[in-house]
Amino acid sequence: MKFSWDTYSRPFICLAPMAGVTDGSYRQLIKTCAPETIVYTEFLSTDAIHYGAKKTMQELEFDKESEYPFIVQVFGKDPDHFLSAAKVIEEMGADGIDINMGCPAAKVVSSCHGSALLKNAELAKRLVDATKRAVSIPVSVKTRLGWDCIDNLIPFCQGLVEAGADALAIHGRTYEGKFGGDANWDPIYELKENVSVPVIGNGDIRCSQDALDKIKNLDGVMVGRGTFGNPWVMKDIAEAFRLRSGKRIEDNGKMIPTVERLSFEEKIPFIIEHCKLAVKVKGQKRGMLEMRRHLASYVKGIDGASDMRARLVRVESVEEVQRILCG
């Protein structure tokens, strides 16, 4: 099935691309919770793809059946490398390409990547144009409200759309805002009224009610840190949106909850499955090493979490995790 931002069911529910998090195992786990989720890779270098770097090419691998629609997020600053990388991504069977113009990490910005493009609108447009010319799959952009203020958000994004961007995802903070304070969605709502493509909001969604409160005139929501230790939030959001479409709303305007909250014991099979997926995707050693941060998030807030976390951050096998979690 060919993916299109114009025809895919709305409102969109997207898993935000996160470095060191949204690998194949995490994407597949999220899809088991909420199959309608649009999943993204960790952001990958167009330079590395252009030169065929082994590690990056491995990170491009995905399960086409279970991860549809699968979006590859890329970063860089060389239009020629965007063009060649885009061709490789399409040939591998990805359903779309997303260009990162929002990462605030110092190392990324100092290389004129990520949020640095907010200060170079002409280059940003050239990157979109080069990518669009290379492929027939959709090209989207994820960015922020601006560098240090929101004044240029609309003209910046209008330029991206003119260059060919098929959709926009906006994080509700400026580059200087990093991840501090509350995300500001008001400029995103205004942007939606001034562009012709789907607009997705991102920032501070931790539960289904947050998604319902924030979506307003937008085409979808994107959730990142809110999934840490709680991938089931994506199912909650999907169910809440389905209820909203049926107009089953309480008198106080809050949605009737439909997803039964799982006890920790009920979560354990999912956590074990996540471990198995990590080993399948990354191998025993690397898979379990990378699972440790997820395991620490899964036990946050439960009785005995501190002791359990101290043991989980040293695990080396799925069986060891099972013994710790099941007592």
**Residues with catalytic function:** 103
- Phi and psi at 170, nearest 5°, equal -120, 125
Residues in the chain: 327
Q: Round to whole Å and give the CA distance between 131 and 83.
A: 5
DSSP 8-state secondary structure symbol assigned to residue 260: P
Of the candidates 221, 230, 212, which has an alpha carbon nearest to the alpha carbon of residue 192? 221
DSSP 3-state of 225 = helix
What are the strands, taking DSSP E only, across 46-153?
A: 70-75, 96-101, 139-144
Please provide the distance, in angstroms rounded to a whole number, between the alpha carbons at the two ends of the chain. 44
Which pair of tokens denotes residue 243? 């209820």
Enter the DSSP assignment of 110.
H
Query: Across-strand partners of 201?
Result: 170, 221
What does DSSP assign to residue 222?
A: E
Crossing angle of helices 318-326 and 264-282, rounded to 10°: 170
What Rg, from alpha-carbon coordinates, does the chain have?
20
